[in-house]
Amino acid sequence: MTERLYYEDARLLSFDAVVTKAVPSSEKTQIWLDRTAFYPTSGGQPYDTGTINGRKVIDVDSVDGDVVHTIEGELEAGEKVHCEIDPVRRRDHMQQHCADHMLAHLLYVHYGAFTHGLHISGDISTIDVTFPDGRTHLSEDEIIALEEEVNDWITQDEPIKCWFPSPEELETLPMRKAPTVDEHIRVVWIAPDEYCACGGTHPLRTGEVGCMRIIDTKPARGKMRVSFLAGMRAVRDNRSKTDAALKAANTLSSSWSDLPAAVSRLREKCAELSSDIRDLRRKLILLELEKCTPSVSADGRSIYTCIFNGEDVEALRDAAGAFAADHDAYVLCASETDSSSLLVFVRGGNCTQNVGSLLSSAAKANGGKGGGRPEFAQGSAANAEGALRQAEESLRS
């Protein structure tokens, strides 16, 4: 089996080894080393990257107890190699993984919650948690309290230890949850009282995590998913959000502290303007309908037919309904866009013909669909002019 150097020293980034096996495939080669500090994908933590004799490492996996490295190019069995691990990626994964343990510990201490696992992606880290009461979210105050407690723990710069205790020693340790394996159990201790089985890489002290931010909590398949960022990820996230907020504040001629209120005022103003615009559109539609020369239906009521260009749907419905009621008439409207046309048919109180079935037939015959009640119907048609003409002819006959 491969000797895993990262177990003893997670800060080891440069080492020498011997290739014990090589399996080439296309422009890649899978190689086995007698010893390695490359971490293979495991426990929700992604693999390390770097180089082996200058060849780029593009994947690291664990197979039957051995660590298998996939590199670009070729190497042969028996070669002595020098290996370099990407320090930025290694440090990032150590920070995320350590923050995971700290957050999971506090969720357990305060809520009795059980953490099922960690997932570190390229941009965010998550844990899925089960609470005894089945809850799937935390309040804003609870999130703030947890985040501050983790960061206080980080600033205390507590020691971290990883080791393989004997079975006898393991039985004495207050483990947060039972190990998932029966032998070769590696324990991570984060002072003062976090003990958990883990094969991942961790810093020597909590201060190396830097800082931690909880991004959100939300339901996920019956559990609660906590999304968080640690170390430089948290720093970059804070910077980008601060920059965005400052730019928004400047755009709104607002101070940083007044930004939420300024956004609320802007939303209210937009809502008022949208309402005003809809009222104006409604009036314009009514004016256009007044200009139409009506025909007469079989039941003696006026028929007003009009095609509009990309008109607001809600305004068209409101205006057509009001016009039909005021004039006790049939109103057949269409609003054309580049892709299709909306149809709206409405009748007044003393009109007797069913505009729902009327629209359904006219829309279907002209490449669309729709329907509705006897007094109101809505749908679409590929040929709006043809649909209106057919509907008007049906009303007149």
DSSP 109-141: HHH--EEEEEEE-SS-EEEEEE-TT------HH
Domains in the chain: boundaries: 3-85, 91-240, 276-396
Helix axes 384-396, 355-365, angle to 10 degrees: 140
Topology at the third CATH level for domain 3-85: Elongation Factor Tu (Ef-tu); domain 3 (2.40.30)
If you average pLDDT over every residue of the chain, what do you get? 94
The pTM of this model reads 0.75
Q: What is the DSSP letter of 74?
A: -
User: What torsion do the CA atoms of 236, 237, 240, 243 make, to the nearest 10 degrees?
Assistant: -100
Q: Which fold has domain 91-240?
A: Threonyl-tRNA Synthetase; Chain A, domain 2 (3.30.980)
Sign of CA dihedral 355, 356, 359, 365: negative
Q: What is the pLDDT along the chain (397 residues), one digit of tens a residue?
A: 899 999 999 999 999 999 999 999 888 999 999 999 999 999 999 999 999 999 999 999 999 889 999 999 999 999 999 999 999 999 999 999 999 999 999 999 999 999 998 999 989 999 999 999 999 999 999 999 999 999 999 999 999 999 999 999 999 999 999 998 888 999 999 999 999 999 999 999 999 999 999 999 999 999 999 999 999 999 999 999 999 989 988 888 888 788 889 899 999 999 999 889 888 989 999 999 999 999 999 999 999 999 998 877 888 999 999 999 999 999 999 998 777 789 999 999 999 999 999 999 999 999 999 999 999 999 999 999 999 999 999 999 8
Nearest to 302 by CA among 339, 263, 330: 330
Domain 276-396, architecture per CATH: Roll (3.10)
Pairing of strands 341-347, 50-52: unpaired
Q: How far apart are CA 207 and CA 212, in angstroms?
A: 11
Ordered strands of the 295-296 beta sheet:
295-296, 302-309, 330-336, 341-347, 376-381, 369-372
List pLDDT tens digits, range 214-247: 999 999 999 999 999 999 999 999 999 999 989 9
Q: How far apart are CA 126 and CA 249, in angstroms?
A: 31
